[in-house]
Chains A and B, each alone.
Chain A
């Protein structure tokens, strides 16, 4: 019995150690912020925690997209904007079906109901996934040709894809009056609202919320207005399940023969080649799956955010994802599903909680007029300082 306990204790110790000092520091820091937010500010701690979960779920798939290329030895995939624009194409396609004559084609008319609700979400995926697989294949081929420079090439491929897509957004033959520019009358707007389509289709599936709006915020009938999250803690069940489910599938995949072969190709290509693993093909397929995950990731992101953001919004989206996974303890050669989950939760929580807390502290202080500029500056310094500190400690944590 006591042996058993000792083993358990040893395991727990291992777990704590492998979590890494850097992560513990961030966790400690978050607890401190949450403590301050709960005690010294008017912010509802539950709301803050709920927002952290929503943001993590939103961004989670984009971070997960980075795992396979790292394991296959291609480094950080800065090219995920390529997948993101594919996801956006799928999304816009699904919204256009609501028009009287989608794409000006009369035989497509009357499918408006398809574009709303779950079917719209699925149609967006149905268009986005094959497209991203195709482009991912090309991207993987390109990266194979430029071995050793994958990350820099990836950055420019991502930028190029975003810039090139802008031309398409301006020229797209769309007819839906909710998509086209209000003055020009053609092209797609830069922000498309998903309110009447599939906003929160995942978030609100099995959602759990505690607490409600303060009395002043209710609508005249006494109900919280539709499509407004109630105050208090909010658990976006569907969103979390979707993300964690994807993470689980990835973990299972990594344990399969194909998954281990892929990791072997990344760890030691010479050896992998000698035992018959097609290294180049492994790398290419890792990029294809990464691009597809990014495409799905942006649709999930947008349904939670409530808007599709076109044009330049995707330009820098790879960088927070990269920061998340590195913060989670991954390196250029090593990455696992746990790095994704821990990194996303920590990074997004830091982003979500620090500013409202400082804002509220300053608002309640007697010097608020003189300190008006301080909250955002404090956020920049604290948040990035903590990330830097964690990065500088990462080598001593799990390695």
Chain B
């Protein structure tokens, strides 16, 4: 009987294959540009109120959690409330809401920083705004719809995934790529920024004479789970290297796939420009078994050096890359300073020069930034890629 349910679907699908919709993207791809901004910072005073920080646990990604720990090390637990959202945040959004509301209902909390801003953030912001209007929400790396997020949050900081569409392809070309493989799955392509980046990449590949391969992988939150998605990557990368040759650059939009992707690219001799969330500590240590004893733990330059050694052992130096520091850690640190300035009335959260200044000061790296879709409170940030 179930066949009857499948049948119409198969017909629809085959119809699709037969006539094919008009190719999306193509002509109307806009390559982003930044307006020039000069960095400046001011003294924002002391932390004399409470700031809430919501991050994931380390198993979701170490960077954000340690970023919050660094802030606590500076300001102490009296003024920083650190909470975590559940590992399966996709199915436990009510818990995320509960954690955020618990902070929002504390009258001493004046600002809340959420990194990464997983689904559940937007309902929580809307619920908190019903009860009080003086709370400042600063979001790092939102995963909900950017238009809605921009309308509801005070400040959004995100690595510039649109601009990276350009920089990654340029870097891949420099590293000698002839083919560029982009792994993703439909749920991610329903995210505006990620699907626009894919279109930018495809367009630039065409212009640069690089073959663009749009590959699908299983959704790690779906039926096969993280294990199935990772195993697929391990199997598929060698297949594609056989098909397209060694000068193939691999990229995936999903954090869980970075480790197998790095491993398989290194073993197969391929190119890997940078991760979905560029940072020396994202993917590389787990994929390559980087030795990090307690003395160099947390030292990004030393960690990069260790990764570089492992890659050089395989004779692949210069074909792998990442960013100098973890931008999410920098964003959390900067967000605390910006929240202080805003609460003390010393700056506005749409002052791009000030935001750039604090990001550069906290991370000790050069950054460029610009607004997303003309939302002055939604800033896309980019830093430099360093080959390993």
Could you tell me which A residues sit within 8 Å of B by CB distance?
42-44, 47, 51, 55, 58, 166, 169-170, 177-178, 180-187, 189-193, 195-196, 213-214, 216-220, 225, 227-229, 231, 305-307, 309-313, 315-317, 320, 351-352, 355-356, 358-359, 362-363, 365-381, 383-385, 388-389, 392
Contact = CB atoms under 8 A, between A and B. Distances in A.
Given A217-B245, A378-B13, A183 B62 contact: yes
A380 B222 contact: yes
Contacts of A383: 223
B348 interface: no
Nearest to A323: B223
B216 A359 contact: yes
A68 to B, nearest CB: 24
A311 B286 CA distance: 13
Given A177-B292, A185-B297, A305-B231, A363 B214 contact: yes
Given A182-B281, A185-B298, A370-B22, A191 B235 contact: no
Contact of B259 (A43, A191, A363, A392): A191
Given A180-B297, A214-B245, A311 B59 contact: yes
Given A229-B238, A320-B224, A371-B16, 4 more contacts: A195-B289, A315-B88, A317-B225, A377-B186
A365 B17 contact: yes
Interface stretch (B2-10, B114-122, B169-177, B349-357): B2-10
Interface of B: 1-3, 5-6, 9, 13, 16-17, 20-26, 57-59, 62-63, 65-66, 69, 87-88, 185-186, 189, 198, 202, 213-219, 222-228, 230-232, 234-236, 238-239, 241-247, 259-260, 263, 267-269, 281, 285-294, 297-298, 303, 314-315, 326
Nearest to B25: A369
Contacts of B227: 305, 309, 313, 317
Contacts of B247: 216
Contacts of B26: 369
Given A216-B247, A380-B222, A182 B303 contact: yes
A181 B297 contact: yes
B88 A312 contact: yes
18 contacts: A55-B231, A166-B59, A178-B289, A180-B294, A182-B62, A184-B58, A184-B62, A191-B286, A217-B241, A217-B246, A320-B224, A355-B216, A356-B235, A371-B20, A372-B198, A376-B217, A380-B223, A381-B6
A56 to B, nearest CB: 12
Contacts of B9: 381
A356 B236 contact: yes
Nearest to A312: B87
B267 A225 contact: yes
Contacts of B293: 177, 180, 185
B78 to A, nearest CB: 22
Nearest to A214: B242
B214 A368 contact: yes
A370 to B, nearest CB: 4
A369 B57 CA distance: 37
8 A-B pairs with the lowest CB-CB distances in the bound complex, closest first: A216-B245, A185-B297, A367-B20, A191-B286, A311-B59, A375-B216, A177-B291, A193-B289
A376 B218 contact: yes
Nearest to B182: A372
Contacts of A183: 62-63, 66, 281, 297-298, 326
Contacts of B213: 363
A244 to B, nearest CB: 21
Nearest to B67: A183
Contacts of B25: 369
A379 B230 CA distance: 16
Given A351-B228, A355-B218, A366-B20, A182 B297 contact: yes
B3 A389 contact: yes
A44 B239 CA distance: 8
Given A178-B291, A192-B286, A369 B268 contact: no
Nearest to B314: A225
Contacts of B6: 381, 385, 389
Contacts of A369: 23-26, 202, 214
A384 B236 CA distance: 21
Given A183-B281, A185-B292, A225-B269, A372 B246 contact: no
| Residue from B236, B246, B288 whose CB has the most chain A CB atoms within 10 Å | B246
A379 to B, nearest CB: 7
Contact of B297 (A184, A190, A351, A366): A184
B16 A374 contact: yes
B22 to A, nearest CB: 7
A44 B243 CA distance: 9
A214 B189 contact: no
A384 B223 contact: yes
Nearest to A170: B58
Given A317-B227, A367-B23, A217 B292 contact: no
A133 B246 CA distance: 47
A369 B182 CA distance: 13
Given A185-B297, A305-B231, A388-B2, A228 B267 contact: yes
A225 B260 CA distance: 17
Contacts of B292: 177, 180, 182, 185
A377 B218 CA distance: 9
A392 B57 CA distance: 41
Contact of B288 (A193, A315, A356): A193
Contacts of B58: 170, 181, 184, 187, 190
A312 B57 CA distance: 11
Contacts of B232: 355
A27 B273 CA distance: 41
B59 A184 contact: no
A398 B213 CA distance: 44
A85 to B, nearest CB: 14
| Residue from A191, A229, A368 whose CB has the most chain B CB atoms within 10 Å | A191
A329 to B, nearest CB: 18
B225 A217 contact: no
| Residue from A47, A367, A381, A383 whose CB has the most chain B CB atoms within 10 Å | A367
B289 A376 contact: no
Contacts of A189: 285-286
Nearest to B231: A305
B29 to A, nearest CB: 11
